[in-house]
Amino acid sequence: MTIRDLFRRTQVRSAVAFTLIITVSVTVLFAVLIANLADGLEEGVRARIVHTRDALLAIDRRYGFDELVSVVTDEAESVRDTDSIFAVEDANGTVVAGNIRTERPFEGWRALERSHLPDIAGNGTGRDRFFALWTPVSKGMLLIGRSDREVRQARLILMRSLGWGLLATVVLGVGSGIYLARGAQKRIDSIAQTLSAVSAGALDKRVPIKLPQHDLDEVSERINAMLTQLERLVLNANQSSTDIAHDLKRPMTRLRQQLESACEAEAENPGIRQVLEHAIEEVDSIVSTFEALLNIGQLEAGDRRARFVDIDLRRVLGDASEAYAPVIEDSGFKLVWDEAQASALTIRGDHELLVQLVANLIENVIQHCPPGTSIQLALSGSQRRPILTVADNGPGIPGDEHENVFRRFYRLERERTTPGHGLGLSLVRAITDLHGATVDLTDNGPGLKVSITFPQRS
């Protein structure tokens, strides 16, 4: 099963959609969380700056400006984490204490880049920023700032957690979807295989049901009920057709024997003998119809599939052409078949039935085409897809009748003046279905081309 096939499964699509919904939801949740947390941490940093400022202002008010300078000097020299900055300017704008000396006073809060502070640029990392605030004191200005490193570290931890969480969500979501799809696909394949077997004639096949029951088992139970009803109807129909054919074939055979006896007894009376011979021909036609019905019923039951062997389609066409060459020549038709130029294509099948298939197609041409028509037998395709064709250059069949001619007893001539019972192409369809092949009628321009496409050998 390819990736494209997987994503055609409803379970995989549902799992992917669910994964996308969860991913988007988690991403939005983390984005809001990160934003709120960052704002909270920044407020915490500013609160500590304000707390430190208030303490230094209290020293300035109680002990004077010189004491403030002394305390800031000690504080700046004792800073070990490089996350705090201090500066004190006197009334002349000269920096008299602190660990930075290049920053000029500004109003309100500002974020200062460490890389723009030469005095401490070599410490910490280049991504550091300082939330800073200038405050007036008794004889000058006081600058206090603190790094946002804690904020960035917290944001980085949350972003990494989000990344790993999203990766785990995607892996679990897609993995669970594939797992569910494979399990469900096994059930669907089981249903498809059962239906294919039933289509091939194995009417006794049923979809297996597991315990505890899956939701697809409800569908399987309905399919099994339908197949049971279908099997009963088909068997009844086939049995009825077979019984009718058998029951009518026996008296018709006895009637034929009686007519033959009467024909021999009336040998001296030409008029009665002619009537009896005509009646025998009619009886033969009826008996051949019953035999064709019985053959079609046996083929549709799939019993002959057990006799399948490897056969060469060249031999099939060769035997059919050899058997019908005299008939074709006597009827004024022309047969075209070059076995030496045909490819060697081997399939699993019944040689006798395939010869009968080709014979029926040839007889169909002889019955419905004028003398002089050319009948061409050919093989094409490849070993993976062999194609057997029987084509003619006669009047052909209208396109809207291509499917109808395979129906039992269907005749293009409504008056039914042409000899035949309308079962020849029905038998052709039954033989192709038995072999898992398809039959297609196309315009041969002029004439009709019948193509039998066989499946790849298993």
Average pLDDT, integer, range 402-414: 67
Which pLDDT value is given to residue 17? 75
Which pLDDT value is given to residue 143? 93
What residues pair up with 411 in beta bridges, in sequence order? Answer: none
Q: Would you say 188 and 182 are in contact if contact means Cβ atoms under 8 Å apart?
A: no
Which pLDDT value is given to residue 236? 61
Question: pLDDT at residue 81 above 60?
Answer: no
Average pLDDT, integer, range 107-125: 82
The residue count of the chain comes to 458
pLDDT single digits (tens) 288-332: 665 665 566 656 555 666 677 888 888 888 888 888 888 888 888
Give, to the nearest 10 degrees, the angle between helix 270-301 and helix 424-434: 20
pLDDT single digits (tens) 335-376: 888 777 777 788 888 888 888 888 888 888 888 888 888 888
Question: pLDDT at residue 112 above 50?
Answer: yes
At the top level of CATH, the class of 305-453 is: alpha beta
Quote the CA–CA distance of 163 and 107 in Å, as a whole number: 39
Quote the CA–CA distance of 364 and 350 in Å, as a whole number: 21
What tokens appear for 59 in the block?
């020293």
What tokens appear for 350 in the block?
């019944």
Which pLDDT value is given to residue 132? 92
**In one letter, which amino acid is 449?**
K
Q: Would you say 134 and 142 are in contact if contact means Cβ atoms under 8 Å apart?
A: yes
Among 355, 329, 335, smallest CA distance to 427 is for 355
Among 67, 51, 72, 42, smallest CA distance to 142 is for 72
pLDDT single digits (tens) 213-235: 666 777 788 888 888 877 776 66
What are the domain boundaries of the chain? Answer: 10-152, 215-301, 305-453
Q: Would you say 262 and 274 are in contact if contact means Cβ atoms under 8 Å apart?
A: no
pLDDT single digits (tens) 416-439: 445 555 667 777 888 888 788 888
Q: CB atoms < 10 A from the CB of 298, how many? A: 15
Q: How confident is the model at residue 415 (pLDDT cuts 50, 70, 90)?
A: very low
Which pLDDT value is given to residue 23? 78
Which pLDDT value is given to residue 89? 92
Average pLDDT, integer, range 145-172: 82
Q: Would you say 58 and 106 are in contact if contact means Cβ atoms under 8 Å apart?
A: no
- Following DSSP, what letter does each residue of 397-448 receive, concatenated? --GGGTTGGGSTT--S-TT--SSS-S-HHHHHHHHHHHTT-EEEEEE-SSSE
At the top level of CATH, the class of 10-152 is: alpha beta
pLDDT single digits (tens) 166-208: 788 778 777 776 777 677 777 777 888 888 877 776 777 888 8
Residue 28, CA atoms < 13 Å, CB-side half-sphere = 5
**In one letter, which amino acid is 432?**
T
Q: Would you say 105 and 63 are in contact if contact means Cβ atoms under 8 Å apart?
A: no
Question: pLDDT at residue 80 above 60?
Answer: no
**In one letter, which amino acid is 219?**
V
**215-301: CATH number:** 1.10.287
Quote the CA–CA distance of 6 and 181 in Å, as a whole number: 7
Cβ-Cβ contacts under 8 Å for 168 (sequence gap 6 or more) = none
Give the percent of the chain with pLDDT over 90: 6
- Which has more confidence, 51 or 341? 51
* 3-state class (DSSP) for residue 85: strand
Which pLDDT value is given to residue 1? 52
Cα–Cα distances in angstroms (integers) from residue 205 to residues 192, 196, 283, 331, 373, in the given order:
11, 10, 40, 47, 46
pLDDT single digits (tens) 20-41: 787 788 788 878 887 887 788 8
Cβ-Cβ contacts under 8 Å for 411 (sequence gap 6 or more) = 418, 420, 422
Residue indicated by tokens 């008010």 = 61
In whole angstroms, what separates CA 23 from the centre of its chain? 26
**What Rg value do the Cα atoms of the chain yield, rounded?**
48
Please list, residue by residue across 29-52, b when 16 or more beta carbons sit within 10 angstroms of its beta carbon and e when fewer do.
ebeeebeebbeebbeebeeebeeb
Cβ-Cβ contacts under 8 Å for 205 (sequence gap 6 or more) = 194, 197, 198, 227
Mean pLDDT of the chain: 78
